[in-house]
Amino acid sequence: MSACPRAADAVGGAFSALEPDEDAALRDHLASCATCRRALDEALEVGAALGAAVPQVDPPPPLRRRVLDAVLAEPAPPRPARPAPPRVAGPELDPPPGAAPIDRPRRRWPSLVGGLVVAVVLGLGLVVAGGVLSTQGGAPDTPAAALDEQADRVVADARSRDPSLRSAVLRGERGDAAAVVLDPADAAAPVRLVPLAMPPAPPAHDYVLWATGLPGNVPEAVAVMDPSDGVTRPLGAPTGPPAPGAPAPRGYAVSVEPAGPVPARPSTVVAAGLAA
């Protein structure tokens, strides 16, 4: 299957991140492009999978206020221009001196409008191209930026030894990097969870790592970590080792669960992210 330069627009369309005219053009394009239809479907599946893994919670009041202020500050969309009258054959006229060219509106991708704003206000996990959408600016010399740099170093170091390794940066409810998942290219090698700034777990509770975005969109527990020692303990899949060519997880999430048997589904999710 050949790549299509419009595939990025298909992903943006899945998260309401396109301008109205771009969205309309994408809809027309999808009718004749199987590559972009697949990209759109996969983006929608990933969003549904991570959304199912993250419980709906009320955001902190300061975050809600900032988001609503941003919504109110958004300018109203321009009214669509009336169609131009048909041209009458005749001599070409030069534009008047000093006339400014009409620029196409610049894309705001991602934008705090439409479905993205609603999802932020409701506290849902947002997936955009590379991971969960952060609600912080990530300014230099901030704790959030330091955690991002630490996550990048963990991934870079692991990929220096395993170039085909898949990884995911898991982010908490504030958007800060909380942990990194390292998934080796060798299907027989265990997945590893590297904590960065995980929220503290209550006594007699463990962190449980879940694979998301699998067929059926049902999260699957793949590892457990005791907060006291930070050791990743892989869990055997109920159906045995993955078959060759089996689809890989599209994302991961971490929940806090009582120590002991792992539940069928995550309860208190504290971080989630998209695999890359």
Q: What is the dihedral of CA 188, 191, 192, 193, to 10 degrees?
A: -170
Question: Quick check: helix, strand or coil at residue 143?
Answer: helix
Number of H helices, E strands in the chain: 6, 10
Question: Quick check: helix, strand or coil at residue 142?
Answer: coil
pLDDT of residue 63: 65
pLDDT of residue 106: 42
Across the 276 residues of the chain, what is the mean pLDDT of every consecutive 10-residue run? Answer: 74 76 87 84 64 54 66 55 53 52 44 36 36 44 87 92 92 90 87 92 94 83 91 73 67 93 90 89
Q: What are phi and psi of 101, to 5 degrees?
A: -65, 150
* Distant-in-sequence, close-in-space partners of 11: CB < 8 Å, separation ≥ 6: 39, 40, 43, 129
Does this model's pTM top 0.85? My answer is no
pLDDT of residue 37: 84
pLDDT digits (tens, 9 = 90+) for 184-242: 988 788 899 999 999 899 999 999 999 988 877 788 999 999 998 889 999 875 445 55
